[in-house]
């Protein structure tokens, strides 16, 4: 879905060849333990190649509509709190191609309205300011559209200032840094293979498999097996759609479940006369609930994983498998491709 620009981080010489536009140049974010712990709202960043403007929104529907209209989805500009100091968005209908401006100063917003600007979002806040991370703004006096840029990347900000942009300042504070552009080919790399978690084998216990297709749709089964006589075994199945994966670092992508359909409700089969073995009564909730998760490539170093993933691997007394790993920020779900052992 949509149009994507690849390898932007290697194009600093061409990105800033003209002073009228700035493309995505996030510094490589550090995932580490605190990155996945952040609770906030992703602010999407889009780019209009025709006008040179960047646009920022927390609305997935608005983001998708702009992509359909030809804007380039560059990923997440920053992670904002869900409450705090209001941030307002204004629109200049008189600028060639249109232009947007963002400010936490309501008096400044009112003064721009007096000059002919329009308040977006019915004059309600579009985001909130709060956190410890700087969001930098810069102004291009030569641009008719896209005159302001907002970024958490000091590298991008410095490149803009070096290219002639003005007003190097902190616009407001945010919770988390931006993520790089989406990688639409990620799902194609393991389409048809199976993510597994706690495969039950002969021992019994909760198990799950998740097959992701090249287009981001998925099929998931959740099973709780008992091989003790008189105890039931449970099974359910879901299908759904995943978001486009957003690159977090050189090894990791972030995605989330955006739709889910229950196609096989939980059913119970009472076992009869099977040989006694392990029994796990712990229920397992699958990935069908809307949630974020991360996918890490086979060559991601163990020390670059969050602490709970490193601990899980140590508890398993195993090296990292030679396959992609899927895990949720809270550590409750940990799956890998095609490896039939408990995680």
pLDDT tens for residues 125-162? 999 999 999 999 999 999 889 999 999 999 899 999 99
Task: Could you list the beta-strand ranges (E) of 127-251.
Answer: 127-129, 133-139, 148-151, 166-174, 194-197, 205-212, 217-225, 232-242, 246-247
What average pLDDT does the chain have?
76
pLDDT tops 60 at residue 334: yes
Residue pointed to by tokens 């307002």:
88
Q: How confident is the model at residue 315 (pLDDT cuts 50, 70, 90)?
A: confident
Rounded distance, CA 148 to CA 128, Å? 18
| Cβ–Cβ < 8 Å for 153, 137 | no
Residue 13: what pLDDT?
23
Residue 209: what pLDDT?
82
Contacts (Cβ under 8 Å, ≥6 apart) of 335: 195, 196, 197, 208, 210, 325, 326, 327, 343
Decide: pTM greater than 0.75.
no
Rounded distance, CA 89 to CA 22, Å? 19
Residue 230: what pLDDT?
60
From 178, 78, 172, select the one nearest 129 (Cα to Cα).
172
From 26, 280, 15, 288, select the one nearest 165 (Cα to Cα).
15
HSE, side-chain direction, 13 A CA sphere, residue 237:
4
Helix (H, G, I), strand (E, B) or coil at 284: coil
What percent of the chain is predicted at pLDDT more than 90?
A: 31
Kindly list the domain boundaries of the chain, sorted by start residue.
8-174, 186-337
Q: How confident is the model at residue 268 (pLDDT cuts 50, 70, 90)?
A: low
**How does pLDDT run across 270-281, given as a tens digit for each residue?**
555 444 433 333
Q: What is the mean pLDDT of residues 43-60?
A: 92
**How does pLDDT run across 289-302, given as a tens digit for each residue?**
556 788 998 888 88
């Amino acid at each position: 879905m949509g149009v994507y620009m690849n390898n932007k981080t290697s194009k600093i010489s061409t990105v800033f060849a003209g002073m009228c536009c700035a493309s995505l140049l996030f510094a490589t974010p550090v995932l580490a333990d605190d990155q996945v712990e952040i609770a906030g709202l992703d602010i999407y960043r889009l780019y209009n190649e025709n006008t040179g403007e960047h646009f920022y929104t927390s609305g997935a529907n608005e983001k998708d509509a702009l992509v359909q209209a030809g804007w380039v989805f560059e990923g997440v500009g920053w992670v904002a709190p869900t409450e705090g100091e209001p941030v307002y968005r204004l629109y200049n209908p008189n600028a060639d191609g249109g232009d947007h401006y963002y400010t936490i100063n309501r008096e400044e917003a009112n003064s721009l309205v007096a000059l002919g600007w329009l308040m977006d979002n019915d004059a309600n806040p579009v985001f909130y300011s709060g956190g410890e991370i700087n969001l930098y703004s810069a102004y291009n006096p030569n641009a008719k559209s896209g005159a302001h840029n907002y970024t958490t990347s000091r590298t991008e900000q410095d490149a803009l200032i070096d290219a002639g942009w003005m007003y190097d300042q902190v616009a407001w504070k945010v919770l988390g840094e931006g993520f790089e552009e989406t990688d639409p080919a990620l799902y194609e790399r393991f389409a048809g293979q199976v993510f597994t978690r706690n495969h039950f084998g002969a021992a019994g216990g909760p198990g799950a498999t998740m097959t992701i297709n090249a287009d981001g749709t998925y099929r998931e089964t959740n099973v709780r097996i008992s091989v003790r006589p008189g105890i039931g075994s449970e099974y359910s199945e879901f299908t759904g759609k995943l978001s486009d994966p957003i690159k977090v670092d050189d090894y990791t992508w972030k995605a989330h479940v955006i739709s889910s359909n229950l196609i096989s409700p939980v059913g119970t089969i009472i076992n009869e006369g099977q040989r006694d073995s392990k029994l796990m009564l712990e229920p397992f909730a699958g990935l069908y609930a809307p949630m974020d998760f991360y996918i890490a490539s086979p060559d991601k170093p163990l020390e670059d994983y969050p602490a709970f993933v490193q601990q899980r691997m140590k508890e398993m007394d195993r090296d990292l498998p030679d396959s992609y790993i899927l895990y949720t920020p809270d550590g409750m779900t940990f799956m890998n491709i095609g490896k039939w052992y408990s995680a």
